[in-house]
């Protein structure tokens, strides 16, 4: 959706006025927000714990999902107002079919040495010169998570960058824990990270190395987003702007070092070292919410080429940037 300067200015002024009024109101508007048990979702929890949403007149009600397969039907069916999630071919297909949900802000990008998601882990004895040596990929056994197409996109990008035909490698689907065990036992050669911060702090098995090869292939690729459902897209724009304004303030405080209670609770639930979780890299989360449209274009091109998207969808059809632009402008 294209937003003119006049329209953006009107949204900005309206959002400022609504922000002032919201602080005077006692009642709050409930918003249902879909999240996942991930370290990088800490910023939205911090914003909630610090009262940033309440300051905007919003009451956040979190619902936790394990992945896009669960999240998409919930937001498409009106059970969620907001979802924090990665790209999914299902999202493009749903938009083409008329579902009222759009990407409204960007969240995470790949950063060298930052976070585990998108990192490539390899068996050193299989890749003595590192995974950058293309010929060593021939015959490699690679694991992808059972319920993500993001890792499949990452793998195809790495193979194309290295000039390795997909037909020359063996691919299996398995949970992260099984992949680590299989690699440690010499039965698996490559797997991708999925958010385990302790791997960045010496928690890897002896023969397993970590590589940022994916960033050589894709650069600082943006891979997760904020989505709005029909209620926010079709309702008063001030509500969506208020949500993003509070969320972005939470992100900035999180990136600056503030830590929500959520991280301690998450570490306990996921059996992670709480200190390593709190110390994990934070600068991969966007403090402006700006969407990198070129990266979405790469996602879409890959999904179409792999016949995961039934009809071509343009990047513009996936987006509604009114809210992010007005929210970012209002907080500077």
Burial of 172 (0-12, 13-18, 19+ CB in 10 A): middle
Instruction: For residue range 278-327, list pLDDT tens digits in order.
Output: 888 888 999 999 999 999 999 999 999 999 888 889 999 999 999 999 99
Query: Per the structure block, which two tokens stand in for 29?
Result: 């508007």
Beta-strand ranges (E) seen in 111-180 are: 120-123, 141-144, 170-173
Q: What is the pLDDT along the chain (332 residues), one digit of tens a residue?
A: 555 555 555 555 455 445 544 444 458 899 999 999 888 899 999 999 999 999 999 999 999 998 888 999 999 999 999 999 988 889 999 999 999 999 999 999 998 877 677 789 999 999 999 999 999 999 999 999 866 678 889 999 999 999 999 999 999 998 888 888 899 999 999 998 866 555 545 567 889 998 999 999 999 999 999 999 999 999 999 999 999 999 999 999 999 999 999 999 998 988 888 888 888 888 899 999 999 999 999 999 999 999 988 888 999 999 999 999 999 999 98
The phi-psi region of residue 60 (left if phi > 0; otherwise alpha if psi is between -120 and 50; otherwise beta) is: beta
As a whole number of angstroms, the longest Cα–Cα distance in the chain is 65
pTM score: 0.87
Give the domains, in start order, of the chain with CATH numbers: 5-109+223-331 (3.40.190.10), 120-218 (3.40.190.10)
What is the full DSSP assignment across 50-72? TTTTGGGTEEEEEEE-SSHHHHH
Residues 217 and 112: their CA atoms lie apart, in Å, by 12
């Amino acid at each position: 959706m294209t937003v003119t300067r006049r329209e953006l200015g009107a949204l900005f002024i309206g959002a400022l006025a609504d922000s002032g009024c919201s602080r005077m109101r006692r009642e709050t508007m409930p918003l249902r927000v879909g999240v996942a048990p991930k370290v990088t979702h800490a910023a939205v929890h911090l914003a909630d714990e610090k009262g940033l949403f309440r300051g905007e007149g919003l009451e956040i009600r979190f619902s936790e999902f394990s992945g896009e397969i669960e999240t998409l039907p919930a937001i498409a069916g009106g059970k969620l107002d907001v979802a924090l999630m990665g790209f999914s071919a299902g999202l493009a297909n749903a938009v083409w079919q008329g579902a009222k949900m759009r990407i409204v802000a960007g969240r995470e990008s790949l950063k060298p040495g930052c976070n585990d998601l998108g990192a490539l882990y390899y068996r050193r004895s299989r890749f003595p010169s590192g995974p950058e040596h293309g010929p060593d990929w021939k015959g490699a056994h690679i694991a992808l998570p059972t319920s993500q197409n993001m890792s499949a996109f990452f793998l195809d990008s790495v193979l194309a960058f290295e000039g390795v035909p997909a037909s020359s490698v063996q691919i299996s689907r398995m949970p992260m824990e099984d992949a680590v065990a299989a690699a440690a036992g010499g039965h698996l050669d490559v797997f991708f990270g999925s958010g385990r911060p302790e791997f960045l702090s010496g928690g890897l098995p002896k023969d397993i190395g970590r590589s940022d090869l994916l960033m050589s292939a894709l650069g600082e690729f943006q891979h997760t987003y904020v989505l709005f459902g029909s209620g926010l897209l079709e309702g008063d724009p001030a509500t969506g702007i208020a949500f993003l304004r509070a969320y972005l303030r939470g992100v900035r405080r999180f990136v600056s070092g503030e830590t929500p209670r959520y991280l301690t609770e998450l570490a306990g639930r996921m059996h992670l070292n709480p200190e390593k979780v709190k110390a994990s890299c934070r600068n991969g989360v966007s403090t402006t919410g700006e969407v990198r449209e070129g990266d979405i274009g790469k996602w879409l091109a890959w999904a179409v080429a792999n016949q995961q998207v039934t009809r071509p969808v343009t990047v513009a059809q996936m987006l509604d940037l009114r809210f992010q632009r007005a929210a970012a402008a209002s907080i500077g």
